[in-house]
C-alpha cells in the first residue's frame, strides 16, 4: 500500500530568491521575480578501472550541478549584485563582469500526493555562481510575443555541518567532508516554515 504522504508528481516552479555570500555568511534572501523553469543537471561521471580482464573498481567524479534558471524578466538587482550591471546618472549600464559572486538560490515546486493534497516543496541551491543571461525579443506574429530569459548556473555546494552547527561534518567511514549541492524540505520537516526566510545551512542530526 502506498505511503499516504508520498508525492506522486511534482510541477511548477515559483518564488525564486537569491542570497549573496559575504565574509562566509549568506545575506537576507531577495526576491528575484517570476519563474518559468529551473533546469538542473548533474555534473558527474564514473571512471571504471579494469584489471585481469574485468572491472575491479569504479571511481565517481562528482563535480556538482549545472543549471539554467528561466524567468519572465531579468532582475536588475540580481545583475547588479552579480557585478554585471551598474547604476549610472544616465541609466542602467551593462558592464564587463570582473568578479564571480557566490550565492544561494531558493525556489519552490508544487506536488500532488497520494491523498490528493498539494504540498509545496522548498529548495535551496548552495554555492551558486551564474553568468550573463541570454536575451531574445521577438515580434513575428499578430499576438504578443512574451520573452523569456535563461541564466546559466553552476552549483558547487557547501560543506555539511556537524550537529553543533559550527564545525564541518566528516563522514565516519571515509573521513571526508560531505558536500551538499541542494536541500529540499516538505511540510513534514522541522525547518519548513522558515526555510525561505533565510538560508538554512545543512547539518547532521547526530
* Beta-bridge partner residues of 84: none
The model's confidence at residue 7, banded by pLDDT at 50, 70 and 90, is: confident
Quick one: residue 181, left, alpha or beta (phi over 0 = left, psi -120 to 50 = alpha)?
Answer: alpha
Residue 162 has pLDDT above 60, yes or no: yes
Three-class SS state of 101 = coil
What percent of the chain is predicted at pLDDT more than 90?
Answer: 72
**Amino acid 193: pLDDT:** 92
160 — pLDDT class (breaks 50, 70, 90): very high
Q: How many CB atoms lie within 10 A of CB 54?
A: 6
Buried-exposed string 136-151: b where 16+ CB fall within 10 A, e elsewhere:
eeeeeeeeeeeeebbb
Chain mean pLDDT for the chain: 91
Provide the pLDDT for residue 5.
66
| Rounded average pLDDT over 94-102 | 94
Per-residue pLDDT of 99-152, as tens digits, reads: 999 999 999 999 888 777 888 999 999 999 999 998 877 777 777 777 889 999
Q: Stretch 161-172: mean pLDDT, rounded?
A: 91
Q: Is the pLDDT of residue 41 over 60?
A: yes
DSSP string, 104-140: EEEEEEEEEETTS--PEEEEEEEEEEE-PPB------
What residue ranges define each of the domains in the chain, with the CATH number in brackets? 7-185 (2.30.110)
* pLDDT at residue 112 in the model: 86
The rounded percent of the chain whose pLDDT value lies above 70 is 97
- Segment 169-193, tens digit of pLDDT: 999 898 999 999 999 999 988 889 9
When pLDDT is averaged across residues 49-71 and rounded to a whole number, the result is 94
Amino acid at each position: 500500500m502506498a505511503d499516504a504522504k508520498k508525492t506522486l508528481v511534482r510541477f511548477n516552479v515559483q518564488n525564486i530568491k537569491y542570497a549573496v555570500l559575504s565574509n562566509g555568511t549568506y545575506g537576507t534572501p531577495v526576491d528575484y521575480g517570476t519563474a518559468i523553469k529551473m533546469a538542473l543537471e548533474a555534473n558527474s561521471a564514473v571512471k571504471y578501472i579494469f584489471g585481469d580482464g574485468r572491472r575491479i573498481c569504479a571511481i565517481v567524479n562528482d563535480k556538482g550541478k549545472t543549471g539554467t534558471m528561466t524567468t519572465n524578466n531579468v532582475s536588475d538587482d540580481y545583475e547588479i549584485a552579480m557585478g554585471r550591471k551598474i547604476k549610472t546618472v544616465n541609466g542602467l549600464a551593462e558592464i564587463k563582469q570582473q568578479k564571480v559572486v557566490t550565492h544561494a538560490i531558493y525556489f519552490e515546486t508544487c506536488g500532488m500526493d497520494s491523498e490528493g493534497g498539494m504540498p509545496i516543496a522548498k529548495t535551496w541551491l548552495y554555492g551558486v555562481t551564474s553568468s550573463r543571461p541570454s536575451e531574445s525579443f521577438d515580434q513575428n506574429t499578430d499576438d504578443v510575443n512574451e520573452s523569456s530569459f535563461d541564466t546559466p548556473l553552476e552549483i558547487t555546494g557547501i560543506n555539511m555541518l556537524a550537529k553543533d552547527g559550527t564545525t564541518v561534518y566528516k563522514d565516519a567511514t571515509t573521513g571526508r567532508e560531505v558536500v551538499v549541492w541542494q536541500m529540499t524540505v516538505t511540510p513534514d520537516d522541522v525547518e519548513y516554515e522558515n526555510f525561505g526566510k533565510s538560508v538554512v545551512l545543512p547539518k547532521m542530526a547526530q
